[in-house]
Amino acid sequence: MPERVAGIVLAGGGSSRLGQPKQLLDWKGTPFVRQVAETALAAQLSPVIVVTGAAAAEVTAALHGLAVQVVHNPNWAAGQSSSVKAGLAAVPADAAAAIFMAVDQPQLPVRLLDSLKEQHAFNQPPIVATLVDGRRSMPVLFDRSTFPDFATLQGDMGGRALFSTHQVTWFPWLDSSMAIDVDTPEEYARLLRTLEPR
């Protein structure tokens, strides 16, 4: 029986540099947050946990009808670590691992999530991280054995703080669009250009 891997979509940020909630930006007619959640569901992550913060009501509404678990982080302004901890707290005890996904990567393919799961099932590494163009990227899988160490995270520290204390298995991904995250209008425009026919 395949091991259970939870999915955590980090959708709590304030998008201050963007000027509007990045969670609700349009990707082929679908809000970012819904697109990422649908991809996680298609990859059979279970459960799919969406951590909200800023614009929580609108983000939750954008997920209407999806079989996801919405966890609101009232302390979202304290930094990403608070959303990471809120998401992990909702992971069921029988999940072998959890994959963290960024809400500003609607281009995330199901096959990348499948590949991270397969790598973990093969030899249970503590961390399986995506590598794009020689740089680390989201999504990242964390084995359950790492979960207690998240308690030490503070402020804007994300799971990458654990990379120095745990063995990391890097998973190279050849689609360079996965290196794009959206913090500014210019980055959003760059991401949309990846949809244009070549």
pTM of the predicted model, to two decimals? 0.94
Domain that holds residue 144: 5-193
Number of domains in the chain: 1
pLDDT for residue 198: 58
Backbone angles phi, psi at 122, to 5 degrees: -70, -50
List the one residue out of 15, 7, 138 whose CA is nearest residue 71: 7
Q: Which parts of the chain register pLDDT below 50?
A: none
Backbone angles phi, psi at 113, to 5 degrees: -60, -40
Give the CATH number of the domain where residue 148 resides.
3.90.550.10
Could you tell me if residue 198 is inside a domain? no
Could you tell me if residue 61 is inside a domain? yes
pLDDT tens per residue across span 21-70: 899 999 999 999 999 999 999 999 999 999 999 899 999 999 999 999 99
